[in-house]
Amino acid sequence: MNVTQLSLFLENKPGRLQSALKVLSEKNINIRTLTIAEVADFGIIRMIVNNPDEAARALRENHFTCSVNEVLAIELDDVPGALEKALESFGRHKLNIEYMYAFTEKRGDKAVMIFRFDDIELAKKALNEEGYRIVKKIDILGE
């Protein structure tokens, strides 16, 4: 049920992102969604890819620093206020969001958000209790 995310740490220098993405392209890794956060002299690129273990291996072989971790993809109504309502639900369950970002594919009248929680098992339990649909990895990757 969890989705595996690849996090790539890059120096803020021209061409570094392109070099990393070339490694992934050469290994036929498909990026489904990506977000970049800048922190001083480096960036953190978080992405959902079709083969995160192979992607991490290839990047490490090419001297890039990366990690893999579990995130949750959650369907929300694609209407104003839906995210705020979800955050209110998360607050009732004392869920701590480490970060989040949007998945660019719309699913009918739903939007998909990627969340990293400090306690993923507690988050899954709470989300199920609140009636949120956790999107499966297969639904994102189409495999």
Residue-wise pLDDT tens for the chain (143 aa)?
689 999 999 998 899 999 999 999 999 999 999 999 988 888 999 999 999 999 999 999 999 999 999 999 999 998 999 999 999 999 999 999 999 998 766 667 888 889 999 999 999 999 999 999 998 887 777 75
Looking at 3.30.2130.10, 3.40.50.720, 3.10.450.50, 3.40.50.11740, the CATH number of the domain 3-70 comes to 3.30.2130.10
CA–CA gap between residue 103 and residue 23 (Å, rounded):
23
At residue 86, φ and ψ (nearest 5 deg) are -65, -45
pTM of the model: 0.84
Write the DSSP assignment of 46-94 as a string of letters.
EEEES-HHHHHHHHHHTT-EEEEEEEEEEEEESSTTHHHHHHHHHHHTT
What percent of the residues of the chain are helix, what percent strand, and what percent coil, each to the nearest 5?
Answer: 35, 40, 25
Fold of 71-141: Alpha-Beta Plaits (3.30.70)
| Pairing assessment for the beta strands 110-117 and 42-49 based on DSSP bridges | unpaired
Model pLDDT, residue 48 = 94
CA–CA gap between residue 112 and residue 69 (Å, rounded):
18
Q: Domain spans of the chain?
A: 3-70, 71-141
Model pLDDT, residue 25 = 98
